[in-house]
Amino acid sequence: MHSNSWRHRVAEAISRSGYVAIVGRPNVGKSTLLNHLLGQKISITSRKPQTTRHQILGVKTENGNQVVYVDTPGLHRDTPKAINRFMNRAATAALRDVDLVVFVVDRTAWTEQDQVVLEYVRRSGLPCLLVVNKVDLLADKGALLPWLQTLAEKADFCEIVPVSALRQHNIEALETQILQRMPVADHYFPEDQLTDRSQRFMAAEIVREKIMRQLGDEIPYAVTVQIEDFAQEEGVLHIAAVIFVERNGQKKILIGEKGARMRSIGTDARRDMETLFDARVMLRLWVKVKSGWSDDERALRSLGYDDKPA
């Protein structure tokens, strides 16, 4: 009896810690999945493909275990634009130093881009969980089982898990699968740390999300955001952000009639920042034209696209 309870205490003290890369083609719900796994929003989301541009770490510490999730830009075939090359580099770099890959696909679709991602995963040689997302949107639920069998033949996945990230369906089952594949190891981050990214970075991403959500069709990818000022005074965060676009026409759309669009973006962004930073926020936004920034390696570096956490 005595030795059994001693064994039980030792088992409880064993801590699992590891890194998990979340990969997939653009717009399959990787960032939504990460936010629900963490129980808190750190990665921006919109209906537009390629909303995520950087590698973002989300840290979940629970019951003595720690899983470090790496959210990545959607992998796609290289295109001539410098920003697309940057996003592919950020996504493939994530496959270098992790213990497990979570490969996200969308319902019963398998595209050429999914095949591209699978090749990257295969080359990494890492164990891979396949997550079939958005199953709540399947018109014919009966099609799921045969489709899972088809997917199982594509590669030697350790497990195939159907989920709905948005509806939080089957997320716990996925977490169990992830955790049992984490090595026994000490924690990499302090228990209360949620991400490796700075508050400045998070503030810029929130502004960009609001632009993507409100103007995704009109200004798809020609926007980036830089924080010029981030200071706390008497319990209030003062944040000033510059929004860079590539053309004057885009600037006009972004500002909107008598500044209405900009006010709307600012109001939405400030609300999210106050929740994230748990403080009152004074947010100032303005727009600048920097033509060709998304296809200029030097301009990208100056705007923070440098493969290093900000």
- Sorted by sequence, the CB contacts under 8 Å of residue 52 that are 6+ apart come out as 30, 31, 43, 44, 71, 72, 73, 74
The CATH number for 292's domain is 3.30.300.20
Give me the pLDDT at residue 191, please.
Answer: 87
Clarify whether residues 148 and 215 are in a common domain: no
| Residue matched to tokens 């993507």 | 212
- Return the residue matching tokens 């950020």: 90
Region 216-231: mean pLDDT is 77
The residue-averaged pLDDT of 221-243 equals: 87
- Whether the per-residue pLDDT at 21 is higher than 70: the answer is yes
- Distance separating alpha carbons of residues 270 and 257, to the nearest angstrom: 21
What contacts 166, CB < 8 A, 6 or more positions away?
A: 29, 32, 36, 134, 136
Count of domains observed in the chain: 2
Structural domain includes residue 90: yes
CB of 197 closer than 8 Å to CB of 237? no
Domain that holds residue 160: 2-179
136 and 262: one domain? no
Q: Which residue, 144, 179, 214, sits at the end of a domain?
A: 179
Mean pLDDT of the chain: 80
In this predicted structure, what is the pLDDT of residue 66? 94
For residue 223, what pLDDT is reported? 78
Task: Report CA dihedral (100, 148, 120, 76) to the nearest 10 degrees.
Answer: -120
192 domain-assigned: no
What phi and psi, each to the nearest 5 degrees, are found at residue 188? -90, -25
How far, CA to CA in Å, does 268 sit from each of 39, 42, 107, 256, 284?
A: 21, 16, 31, 15, 13
Judgement on whether residues 108 and 257 belong to the same structural domain of the protein: no
In terms of average pLDDT, the best of 12-26, 182-196, 206-220 is 182-196
The pair phi, psi for residue 57, each rounded to 5°, is -95, 135
Mean pLDDT of 103-119: 88
pLDDT for 100 beyond 80: yes
Strand order, beta sheet including 224-233: 224-233, 236-245, 280-289
Query: Does residue 161 share a domain with residue 254?
Result: no
Is the predicted pLDDT of residue 77 greater than 60, yes or no?
no
Domain boundary pick from 148, 179, 210? 179
The whole-number average pLDDT for the span 105-123 is 87
Instruction: Tell me, yes or no, whether 51 and 114 share the same domain.
Output: yes
Q: Does any domain span residue 252? A: yes
Average pLDDT value for residue range 172-177: 94
Whether 155 and 282 share a structural domain: no
Q: Would you say residue 188 lies in a domain?
A: no
Chain-centroid distance of CA 185 in Å reads 25
Above 80 in pLDDT, residue 37?
yes
pTM for the full predicted model: 0.70
Within this chain, do residues 132 and 210 fall inside the same structural domain, yes or no?
Answer: no
- Residues 213 and 164 grouped into a single domain: no
Residue 158 maps to a domain: yes
- 83 and 228, same domain (yes or no): no
Do 144 and 42 lie in one domain? The reply is yes
Do 220 and 272 lie in one domain? The reply is yes
Given this model, what pLDDT does residue 284 score?
95
Q: State whether 238 and 166 are in the same domain.
A: no
Q: Which residue has the higher pLDDT, 92 or 220?
A: 92
Is residue 43 a part of any domain in this protein? yes
Q: Establish if 132 belongs to a structural domain.
A: yes
Amino acid at 101: V
CATH number at residue 37: 3.40.50.300
Question: Do the domain assignments include residue 189?
Answer: no
